[in-house]
Chain A
Amino acid sequence: MPRRIRAGLVWGALLVSVILAAGCAPPLRADGLLFVQDRRLLITSPADHAVVSTPTVIRWRFAGRTDTRFQVFVDRAPQPPGETLDWFVRFDRTGIYETTATELPLNRIARFGRDGTTRENLHEITVVIADTSGRRIGETEAYVDFYVQVRR
């Protein structure tokens, strides 16, 4: 086999394998993927990069179905779309909350850093929507970063 054809086959096989690796299980698909921001879900409090002290209340609004459940994640990524909270191992569910209300009181948040300054205590809240069985719906999510005031 001529060298050029052999090289072409190798590169072709490499390209196809990469596309297959990217596209298989779960598939490379366009349905259900969010290409434009979904602004139906919006965290209203605290404001982005606000400084708050605990206890605090996280509030959001959602312009969608009323039977929607909300899953709130503090300083961690949510599960992929279509998965329930069982996706996380049972002993690693710290910072995960589920509610049907549009607010969540937070009594305490883990302190970061050795000296616990406000600057070090940047936290992130992510809210996703789920159906009545707790399965995450689509890729819609809202998040906010905020600082927690440290009491010395």
Chain B
Amino acid sequence: MTSASGGSDPTIEKLRAAEHRVNEIETSRQTLHQQGLAAMGMTGNEVTVSLREGIRRSGTGWYPLVILSVLLIVDGFQGTAFGILSPDISRTLGITKAELAGVVTLQVLATTLLALPIAASVQRRARRAAVSIATALGWSLFTVFTGFVTSVYALGAVLVADGASTASVSSIHQPFLMDLYPPSVRVRALSVYNAVQQVGRILSPLLVGALTLWLALTWRGIFVVMGLLSLAATLFALRLRDPGFGRWDTAKVRSLADAEAAPGDTTRVAPNVQLSFFDIVKRLLM
């Protein structure tokens, strides 16, 4: 039998030790469970604020999301119009289907190959807003120029230049949005951006159809109008500003760690490591 005090009963001591170990195991199990969920990305609050409220709280506002989405739509103008109007271009300029395929291939190559240099150009300095505006200006002008070409060489040059400026969309826009919005609304902002792209894929052919039917424009007229519309959209993008790298991520964690560090405690303050562009590419590929 156990005594009332229970302080020296070896059986009770053993039971308490066993209970303690069970609790430790349970705690470890729960910790592992949480870590497992975290590793799979299944963490975070189950209840989140609305997108409108989240964007309001971020202080960034709707402007960058709206204007980058609009730039994404007008960027698609050139490609969509060229896809639809290539038979007309072929008949006007006397270009064969093989030549058309060749210039389109060059354009795709330019878009693909120049995405990396453009990403590298903004890797050291946060100037994604300036590059986005400059490239949008570029593709708008090249879309207008497309309406004035008179040979396959001119068409190739304009399409390659347009492809080069378009490369900024794939390499800059989404990282730019990631740094503009906090994690609580970031994915939804990216969803809006990608949804707008689908809307653009519907609007662009409709615009080509409307300009052909209602304004009776030829392919030249359509490229000029689309380029001017793109130019107008670019003018609205002039207020875009780059918030800097990792504003809501590394910069926030770093500021928290710095705030918690005791005065003179340098071990809590992580060094600001700057990886080169090719180091990042190497780590991604390894």
Contact = CB atoms under 8 A, between A and B. Distances in A.
Interface in A1-24: 15, 18-19, 21-23
A144 B174 CA distance: 43
Interface stretch (B33-41, B77-85, B150-158, B248-256): B150-158
Contacts of A139: 92, 218
B220 interface: yes
Contacts of A124: 87
Given A18-B157, A35-B218, A26 B150 contact: yes
A81 B150 CA distance: 9
A45 B284 CA distance: 60
A21 B154 contact: yes
Contacts of A21: 153-154, 157
B217 interface: yes
B142 to A, nearest CB: 8
B218 A78 contact: no
A18 B158 CA distance: 7
B154 A35 contact: no
Interface string B183-227: 000000000000000000000000000001001111011001000
Interface residues of A, number: 31
A23 B220 CA distance: 15
Interface stretch (B6-14, B93-101, B272-280): B93-101
B150 A78 contact: no
A27 interface: yes
Given A78-B91, A126-B91, A141-B91, A28 B150 contact: yes
Interface of A: 15, 18-19, 21-23, 25-30, 33-37, 39, 76-81, 83, 87, 124, 126, 139, 141, 143
Interface of B: 87, 90-97, 138, 142, 145, 147-151, 153-154, 157-158, 160-161, 212, 215-218, 220-221, 224
Given A18-B160, A35-B224, 14 more contacts: A22-B149, A22-B154, A23-B154, A26-B150, A26-B154, A28-B154, A30-B148, A35-B217, A35-B218, A37-B218, A78-B91, A79-B94, A87-B94, A141-B91
